[in-house]
Structure 1
Amino acid sequence: MSAPNMLIDAAIFTPLIAVVGILAFARMPNLREAVSILAGLALLLINIELYNSFNEGQSLTRHWVDIVPGLSLSFRIDALGMLFSLVASVLWPVTTLYAIGYMRGHKEDNQTRFYVCFAVAIAAVMAIAYAENLFTLFVFYEVLSLCTYPLVTHAGTEKAKQGGRIYLGILMGTSVAFFLPAIIVTWLVAGTLDFQAGGVFPEQTGIALLSVLLVLYVFGVAKAAVMPFHRWLPAAMVAPTPVSALLHAVAVVKAGVFSLVKILVFIFGLDTLQQIPATDYLLYLAGAGVVLASLVALRQDNLKARLAYSTVSQLGYITVGALLAVESGVVGSAMHIATHAVGKITLFFCAGAILVASHKSNISEMAGLGRRMPITMIAFFIASLSIIGLPPTAGTWSKWWLLTATLETDQLVLMAVLLLSSLLNIAYLLPIPLRAFFPSEPQTDGPIAIKEAPTASLIALCITAGACILLFFFPNPLFELVSQIFTEGSQ
């Protein structure tokens, strides 16, 4: 086995090795958190090395164990998986840095458990990203649900437990009711669960069966938060803000949309998707979800709740792009996985910073806050522009490709939906920093001392806000990677 192939094992096991160090230094917070950050940096270096090997055209595979003939736990690196793993491994150490400031500043209990579950979640993400087949992806998709449950219920309150029940109930329920049956039928019909360019179904497969399977997969991968199976996401906002950042940017929702895009492109194939009548119905359902979630976000006064419904809407963009069943749509979806990640994690970082520094969680209480927390609110403004899709921020490019795909497929209604949603993004995001810097009523409480969040958290949100701008001016590495999704070498 070659050294690059062994790095796949290293990517999956590095976070698990970190768990041992975190537990060993449970009573020494500085060392415990140093282990987390160092493991995150080590994982990033491993994935950069895998990225370099992938770009050199090497075939990177790793076989663990055969379950039955033709069904195995095995891994293979392709362009889409490489993108997802890089996003997660870049954001893990940054989120850990942020969590140090937040968890200490907010005096959270059970911090060791938090870092342990976080590391296990990242290991599951690596396995999902590099899964060679649907069976492997499903196994670690479920592991991710289970290991993030203690993070959602971290506070231990009745409200947190209720949120956790909704979270796990919807995610596990849809997996058992929809996702697993779809996988079994796929295995019986196609004889394989390996991801393949062009899909796996034989030409003679009935359109009615393919329609049913498509519906089962779209609703079964509930981590993608397609309405009406989205309620787990707002319910999970009872978790500490670093967990919200993990859910929305690094792990759970990105695992959902990644899995959905992977299934649509490499289990069905774009040509097959175009022939399935259910594709259009699901497209319009996803489009309706984009607008409805934006409208719900507009009505939320709690900042984290507004950002949660914003995420439901933005995930709809990724689903729409993949269901358009053209290469430009998939490119836009893949790019949006990355650009939404850096934008939304910044917004959640800012929400947590505001809570720790000013103890405010409702938007109606944040007028004039820019005088106290200028760095945080500037970062919030930058990330808002990225979510909206305005220059000079990263979201501009992914939304451009998604709009291009709607034009290419003559889906003018969906193009209008995406444009309307961007206008709603403006309506529910930009007033927050504008009111923070330019309150409608004069502030009469005299000179205000600047009181930002703890330094570690502030550094983290500045890094991710900077990434929103950096990816606008230097999008080529991202674009070149996602463009390889359809080249023979990436399959």
Structure 2
Amino acid sequence: MGEVITGWTSPDRAYALPVAVAVPLLVCGAVLLLRSRPAARNAASVTGGLLLVGVVASLWPVADEGTRFELWTWLPGLSLTFALEPLGLLFASVAAVLWPLTTVYASGFLRAAREPAHARFFAWFALTIASAMWIALSGNLITLLVGYEVMTLATWPLVAHHGGAAARRGARTYVLVLLATSIGLLLPAMVWTWVLAGSTDFRPGGLLAGTAGTGVLTLLFALYLFGVGKAALMPVHRWLPAAMVAPAPVSALLHAVAVVKAGVFTVLKVAVYVFGLDTLRDTGAAAPMSWVAAFTLLAAAVVAIRADNLKRRLAYSTVSQLAYIVLAATVATGVAVEGAALHLVTHAVAKITLFLCAGAIAVTTGRTRVSELDGLGHAMPWTFAAFLTASVSIIGLPPTGGTWSKWLMLLGTAEADQIMPLVVLLAGSLLAVAYLMPVAVRGFLRPPAAPLTHGEAAPVLTVPLVLTALGCVALFFGAQALIDPLAGTLEVP
């Protein structure tokens, strides 16, 4: 136990992998110890988040050097192992950077909304981040599955945090769907992979190259994509809108920081390191699932347009935008998957902004429906400006990061001569205009139905959402720095 497999890197670097998991675990313990001291508890959470950012940032210079840390081996080919590679580090960086910002926001939101059990909330929050680090740094399917299931169980109490019948019902749907898909579909897919390949270790070029025919690979790929319920493909998406009973910081955690990003990250890992892009492209094994992703993208967008409840609209927006990433994975070209990986980042920053804005509006004004937002942009200009900025990024327009992630996905599908995904991706952006822009239009351009009695949200709520909105713009100028490390990971045709 604790064996270090370093490749060309030093053991010190390898030990940073379990440290990245340990930091949020230590924060979880500190929060529980400081449960009766709110200021110290919140300081411990934010300090731990900043420390994690430093640990993750220290790994980028050696992201492609093959660093591994073996925790435990119980059978040949079956072990708990951490491994460092650019795609996983990208996901780890998203979770690490957004954690302290969400913590600051949550501390203000929970007080303003008079939510109970703050210490319990932040403890489960930290455990969720630990599971995100575990998933991001997993060196094989078995390790990833352990973190995946822990994340489901750690977020279950957060979804039910409000208490009451509605919260319990939403949390029950949440946990049952995610456990049923992972145990009933994802686990058998992993076992089948081990039988075919003799290993579960992630391998550049794919574990399954040359191991089976098109029919087997097609069925196995479908098992993986439906088994990763956190990716929210229809019809296994119902847990996501059901979880909207949770407080706004939990919605931000689900949609941006950890849960759904763990889902689409797993899809990308499976496509790149289990099947291999060449295998998916040459065998056509991903073709049936491309239609499922396309239907999910369009159908969820239509539901979002019709939803008046703001959080429900944003939830179905997430389902649609996740399908972008899955659809790009089924295209199976290096450029399309680069765009999908970048979209994991740009969507995370934009969607956390949207949910933080929705929470700030709800806790400040009590308004939760799009039809109730007329004129609020004049009373809450920072909040609605942030919402507009994040909406532009989700749509995929400059000067925001979503421009480049959507451009690369479109370019990848065009290079592959796949007309259906190309048309669907374009249609999805047009539909995003229809479900996001009315919020900003109502806020800024429509007169209020009654005199406004509320001003801007409290600074502890406003500052984090403004920073994440600025992050949407920063990604427009810094996207290339995120794409470059992926060049050696993906097979570019």
Q: What is the TM-score normalised by the length of structure 2? A: 0.96
Q: CA deviation at 1:69?
A: 2.0
Runs of 5+ in structure 1 lacking a partner? none
Match of 2:240 among 213, 218, 233: 233
State the 1:152 CA deviation.
Answer: 0.5
1:253-264 alignment runs, 5 A limit: 253-264=260-271
Runs of 4+, deviation exceeding 6 Å:
none
Quote the Cα distance in structure 2 between the aligned partners of 1:150 and 1:83: 27
Q: What is the aligned counterpart of 2:31 among 18, 22, 38?
A: 22
Structure 1 CA distance for aligned equivalents of residues 450 and 246 of structure 2 = 35
Tell me the CA shift for residue 449 of structure 1. Answer: 6.1
- 1:459 counterpart = 2:466: no
**Structure 1 residue aligned with 2:142:** 135
Equivalent residue, structure 1, for 2:54: 45
Shift of 1:157: 1.1
SS at match of 1:75: strand
Task: Report the secondary structure of 2:70's partner residue.
Answer: strand
Q: 1:72–1:390: structure 2 CA closer, same or farther, 3 Å change rule?
A: same
Q: Distance in 1 between matches of 2:381 and 2:213?
A: 59
Q: Specify the alignment match of 1:216 in structure 2.
A: 223
Letter of the 1:453 partner, please give it. Answer: A
Aligned partner of 1:94 in structure 2 is 101
Q: 2:334 aligns with which of 306, 315, 327?
A: 327
| 1:437-486 Cα deviation digits (max 9, x unpaired) | 111x56663xx566222211111001100000011122221121333422
Equivalent position SS for 2:27: helix
Q: Which runs of structure 2 are paired with 1:408-487 in the superposition (5 Å)?
A: 408-439=415-446, 441=447, 445=451, 448=452, 451-486=455-490
How far apart, in 2, do the equivalents of 1:273 and 1:58 lie? 26
Say whether the 8 Å CA contact 2:45–2:100 is kept in structure 1: yes
State the match for 2:394 in structure 1: 387
Q: Which residue of 2 aligns with 1:345?
A: 352
Matched to 2:52, the amino acid is L
Matched to 2:463, the amino acid is I
Q: Which residue of 1 aligns with 2:132?
A: 125
Cα distance in 2 for residues equivalent to 1:29 and 1:453: 21
Give the structure 1 partner of residue 168 of structure 2.
161
Match of 1:147? 154
Instruction: Find the aligned partners of 2:422 and 2:210 in 1 and give their Cα distance.
Output: 31
Q: In the TM superposition, what are the counterparts of 1:250-399 in structure 2 within 5 Å?
A: 250-399=257-406
| 2:277/2:491 contact within 8 Å kept | no
Asked if 2 retains the 8 angstrom alpha-carbon contact of 1:141 and 1:255, the reply is: yes
Instruction: State how far apart, in whole Å, the 1-side matches of 2:286 and 2:16 are.
Output: 38
State the alpha-carbon separation in 2 of the partners of residues 201 and 428 from structure 1. Answer: 40
Counterpart contact for 1:290–1:421, Cα < 8 Å: yes
**SS of residue matched to 2:286:** helix
Name the structure 1 match of 2:7: none
Looking at structure 2, the residues matched to 99 and 178 of structure 1 have their Cα atoms a distance apart, in angstroms, of 34
Which of 14, 18, 25 is the matching residue for 1:9? Answer: 18
Contact 1:376–1:461, Cα closer than 8 Å, also in 2: yes
- Aligned-partner Cα distance in 2 for 1:412–1:149: 40
CA distance in 2, matches of 1:276, 1:171: 29
Q: What SS does the corresponding residue of 1:474 show, helix, strand or coil?
A: helix
1:102, 1:454 within 8 Å by CA — same for their partners in 2? no
Partner residue, 2:8: none
Shift of 1:154: 0.6
Take 2:24 and 2:457, find their aligned partners in 1: how far apart are those partners? 27
CA–CA separation in structure 1 for the residues paired with 2:97 and 2:388: 22
Structure 2 counterpart of 1:178, from 173, 177, 185 = 185
Q: Aligned partners of 2:454 and 2:245: how far apart in 1?
A: 28
User: Equivalent pairs: percent with the same residue?
Assistant: 46
Q: Is the Cα contact below 8 Å between 1:36 and 1:93 reproduced in 2?
A: yes
Match of 2:408 in 1: 401
Q: Secondary structure at the match of 1:65?
A: strand
Distance (whole Å) between structure 2 residues aligned to residue 431 and residue 127 of structure 1: 39
The 8 Å contact of residues 360 and 461 in structure 2, kept in 1 or not, is answered as yes
In structure 1, what is the Cα distance between the partners aligned to 2:232 and 2:449?
41
Instruction: Kindly state the Cα deviation for residue 400 of structure 1 after the two structures are TM-superposed.
Output: 0.1
Q: Number of residues paired by the alignment?
A: 483
Which stretch of structure 1 is more off in the superposition, 129-138 or 60-69? Answer: 60-69
Runs of 5+ unmatched residues, structure 2: 5-10
Work out whether residues 374 and 448 of structure 2, in 8 Å CA contact, stay in contact via their aligned partners in 1: no
Residue deviations 1:360-404, cap 9 Å, x none? 001111101011111000000000000000111110000000100
One-letter amino acid of the counterpart of residue 82, structure 1:
L
CA distance in 2, matches of 1:152, 1:482: 34
Per the alignment, residue 81 of structure 2 pairs with 74
Give the counterpart letter for 1:300 in structure 2: A
Which of 310-319 and 94-103 deviates more? 94-103
Q: Distance in 1 between matches of 2:287 and 2:156?
A: 34
C-alpha contact (below 8 Å) 2:69/2:82 kept by paired residues: yes
8 A contact 2:349–2:468 mirrored in 1? yes
Aligned residue for 1:434, secondary structure, equals: helix
Aligned pair partner of 1:106 in 80, 105, 113: 113
Query: Are the equivalent residues in 1 in contact too, given 2:304–2:316 (CA < 8 A)?
Result: yes
What is the CA-CA distance between 1:209 and the residue it aligns to?
A: 1.5
Q: How far has the Cα of 1:204 moved from its partner? A: 4.6
- Counterpart position of 1:197: 204
- Deviation digits for residues 210-237 of structure 1 (CA, Å, limit 9, x no counterpart): 1111110010001000111100000000
The C-alpha deviation readout for 1:64-123, integer Å capped at 9, x for no partner, is: 011212210001100100100001100000110110111111111011111000000000
Question: Cα deviations across residues 317-341 of structure 1 (Å, max 9, x unaligned)?
Answer: 0001111011011101000000000
What amino acid sits opposite 2:34 in the alignment?
A: F
Q: Is the 8 A contact 2:196 2:211 kept in 1?
A: no
Structure 1 Cα separation of the partners of residues 209 and 262 of structure 2? 27
Alignment check: 8 A CA contact 2:209 2:275 kept: no
Amino acid of the residue matched to residue 214 of structure 1? Answer: F
1:73 match: secondary structure: strand
Contact 1:394-1:472 within 8 A present in 2 as well: yes
Distance 1:345 1:124 in 2: 19
The CA deviation at 1:278 is 4.3
- Name the aligned partner's letter for residue 145 of structure 1: T
- AA aligned to 2:478 is F
What is the root-mean-square deviation of aligned Cα atoms in Å?
1.4
Distance in 2, Cα, partners of 1:442 & 1:77: 52
